Amino acid sequence: MSFDDIWNEIDKNREFYEPRIYIVSWNDHFFVLKVEADAYYIIDSLGERLFEGCNQAYILKFDDSSIMHGKTEKAEDDSEERLEVICSGKECCRQFIKRFLAAIPLKELEEEEEKSAVPILPLHRRLQIEFHYTSCPSSSSSSSSSLSTSATSSTYSLSSGED
């Protein structure tokens, strides 16, 4: 399953569901993705993912007012850097994960590859991402005499094709 396939599954019919929480494991770390009809949230305890030297946890909110910019290449006669709009709205969350969070392990792998040969299997493991979703249905009746719970769990994995 590709990242885009996983994301489309998560994004599908989001306005008809209660907020959903996914534990996303990637590159020996995890973060939380909260999906609501109006916004997506990334909650991460490792600030280093946001910028080098950051030692605080963070929460990013992606909603209809979100805009992701990227630098355009400078023209030779233009001394000023320009920004282009890459995407807007909740799509910024998908692009943040694909462009920004993926850039960290890719950069590390490029550096390792320059130093020596990198085995293929660890390469695929570092780039593997999993979305774990668990929900507990809410009970419409509250009974003190009996307590029944059930849970649903889904896991979406990006496979390397090497299995």
What is the three-class DSSP state of 103? helix
Q: What is the mean predicted confidence (pLDDT) over 129-136? A: 69
- Highest average pLDDT, of 9-23, 42-56, 60-74, comes from 60-74
pTM for this model (two decimals): 0.69
Q: What is the mean predicted confidence (pLDDT) over 22-28? A: 79
- pLDDT tens digits for 64-112? 999 999 887 766 666 677 889 999 999 999 999 888 777 767 777 777 7
User: What is the chain's mean pLDDT, rounded?
Assistant: 74
Residue labelled with tokens 């550096």:
111
Alpha helical stretches, state H, 29-163: 91-95, 103-115, 120-126
Q: What is the mean predicted confidence (pLDDT) over 130-159? A: 52
The per-residue DSSP string of 73-93 comes to PPPTT--S--EEEEEETTHHH
Q: What is the mean predicted confidence (pLDDT) over 119-128? A: 59
Give the sign of the dihedral formed by CA 106, CA 107, CA 110, CA 115: negative
